[in-house]
Structure 1
Amino acid sequence: MVSPVRAVTQAGVATLTLDSPGNRNALSAGLVAALRDALASAAQDDTVRVVVLTHTGGTFCSGADLKAPCDPADFLALLAEIAALPRPVVARVTGHVRAGGLGLLGVCDIAAAGPESTYAFTETHLGVVPAVISAPLLPRLDPRAAARYLLTAEPFGAAEATRIGLLTLHSDDVDTALAPVLAGLRKAGPEALAATKRLVNAPVRDALARDGAALTALSARHFASAEAREGITARFERRDPAWSL
């Protein structure tokens, strides 16, 4: 079976590519497991200074695989492992990011995107709750913007994503913009780099540890609800859900 995550290490950079374009890199059980394995391998490789998380196709990650979603507890474990990884994790985005994919993006230490990228917290339109992803995102996002976009599911672009704290930077050429970032990380002492990451992402790690179990239960409860069944069915049938006005 072909893995939904490709891993290549070169010049101190482990590039992990989400490679399941057929389902828009959705968070299936297979993709989450493969990404956790790839991250563990990067953590054990002393030559790796930084992990770059990127994607094939026009979507970085579309969120939960609605046909076969991963266990919320496994997704929580993935987010916690990224936050605790003793290497900085840099997201490189050139496409769309939706729902749970925003949690994956938000837990990264640095996030850069190109001009065609778009973002939306689509959960409420499906009758579910952006619960687990709130742990890494709320410590980073502007509170007013977080309230607006998590509630309304409005799409927004890279400039707005940078303004509200979802992205670190955006550029017409994401690789050119990332070049000095990666160069700086390569020059850093590995122990100092790991300790500094622990320092700056402490609020994210604390939120995942403190609230993760409750948020996982909240997510599972709403995914199992009648409202979610209607919302997800409506999405597959390309119609508005029954509650729409």
Structure 2
Amino acid sequence: MSPLVARTRARAVATLTLDSPGNRNALSAALVAELAGALAAAGADDGVRAVVLTHTGTVFSAGADLRDPPDPDALVALLRQLVALPKPVVARVTGHVRAGGLGLLAACDIAAGATTSSYAFTEVRIGVAPAVISLPLLPRADPRALARYCLTGERFDAAEAARIGLLTAAGEDVDAVLAPVLAGLRRAAPRALAETKRLLTAKVLSAFDRDAAALTALTAELFASPQAREGMTAFLERRDPEWAV
């Protein structure tokens, strides 16, 4: 099988590219495992100063793969790994992001999106909740905006994503937006970066330590529920679920 996560390195920056176009970079069990391995390798590499997480195609990530979903514990571990990695992780988004894919963005230290990208928390529309991804999301994004978008599943654009704290910045040329960010990271001392990141992520990691077990159990319960079965079936059949009015 071809790798689902491509790896490159240039001038002390490792780039991990989600490359699973067949399912719109959805978080399958295989992709989650491969991304976790790539992050571990980058974190252990003394030649890597920072990590860029990006994607091929027009979708950064469509969320959980409904045909081959990851174990909730594995997804929690991946999100925590992003937050706890001793190197800054920068998300580069030029496509659309849905549901669990937004958890990846929230777990990154810095995130930039192109103005053509769009975002939506679609969990409620298939009968589940953004439980696990709330761990990195709630400490970092605007609570009023999250209440609206998580409860309604509405789509919003990159400018709104930046306004509510899901993105650090948005622009027509995402590489131009990230150029000064990467230049700054390359000039920073490695240990200083690691210790500064530790200070900035302490509250997020506390949320993982306090709530991860309960939210993992909730995710498993909801995905096994009759409403989730109906919602996922409706999604795959491209029709409205039975509760839509």
| TM-score normalised according to structure 1 size | 0.99
Cross-structure match for 1:93: 93
Tell me the distance in 1 between the aligned counterparts of 2:20 and 2:238: 22
Cross-structure match for 2:146: 146
Instruction: Kindly report which structure 2 residues correspond to 1:33-112, keeping only aligned pairs within 5 A, or say none.
Output: 33-112=33-112
Tell me the distance in 2 between the aligned counterparts of 1:79 and 1:151: 22
Q: Give structure 2 stretches of 5+ with no counterpart.
A: none
Instruction: Provide the secondary structure at the position in 2 that maps to 1:178.
Output: helix
Tell me the distance in 2 between the aligned counterparts of 1:112 and 1:201: 18
Cross-structure match for 1:7: 7
Instruction: Provide the secondary structure at the position in 2 that maps to 1:220.
Output: helix
Cross-structure match for 1:161: 161
Tell me the distance in 2 between the aligned counterparts of 1:143 and 1:65: 27
**Partner deviation per Cα, 1:65-106 (whole Å, 9 max, x = no partner):** 001101010000001111110000000000000000000111
- Answer yes or no: is 1:170 the counterpart of 2:158: no
Q: Give structure 1 stretches of 5+ with no counterpart.
A: none
Residue 224 (structure 1) shift: 0.2
Q: One-letter code of the match for 1:19?
A: D
RMSD: 0.6
Cross-structure match for 1:30: 30
Tell me the distance in 2 between the aligned counterparts of 1:17 and 1:181: 18
Task: Report the number of matched residues.
Answer: 245
- Answer yes or no: is 1:214 the counterpart of 2:214: yes
Q: One-letter code of the match for 1:117?
A: S
Cross-structure match for 1:135: 135
Tell me the distance in 2 between the aligned counterparts of 1:237 and 1:32: 25
Tell me the distance in 1 between the aligned counterparts of 2:66 and 2:222: 13
Q: One-letter code of the match for 1:234?
A: A
- Answer yes or no: is 1:187 the counterpart of 2:187: yes
Tell me the distance in 2 between the aligned counterparts of 1:17 and 1:78: 15
Instruction: Provide the secondary structure at the position in 1 that maps to 2:6.
Output: strand
Cross-structure match for 2:240: 240
**Partner deviation per Cα, 1:177-202 (whole Å, 9 max, x = no partner):** 10000000011111010000011111
Instruction: Provide the secondary structure at the position in 1 that maps to 2:112.
Output: strand
Instruction: Provide the secondary structure at the position in 2 that maps to 1:201.
Output: helix
Tell me the distance in 1 between the aligned counterparts of 2:130 and 2:211: 13
Instruction: Provide the secondary structure at the position in 2 that maps to 1:203.
Output: helix
Instruction: Provide the secondary structure at the position in 1 that maps to 2:234.
Output: helix
Residue 204 (structure 1) shift: 1.2
**Partner deviation per Cα, 1:136-181 (whole Å, 9 max, x = no partner):** 0010111100111110000000000000000000111000110000
Residue 123 (structure 1) shift: 0.2
Tell me the distance in 1 between the aligned counterparts of 2:76 and 2:160: 26
Tell me the distance in 2 between the aligned counterparts of 1:208 and 1:98: 22
Residue 237 (structure 1) shift: 1.1
The list of structure 1 runs, each at least 4 consecutive aligned residues, that deviate by more than 2 angstroms after superposition, is none
Instruction: Provide the secondary structure at the position in 1 that maps to 2:154.
Output: coil
Cross-structure match for 2:223: 223
| TM-score normalised according to structure 2 size | 0.99
Q: Percent identity?
A: 66
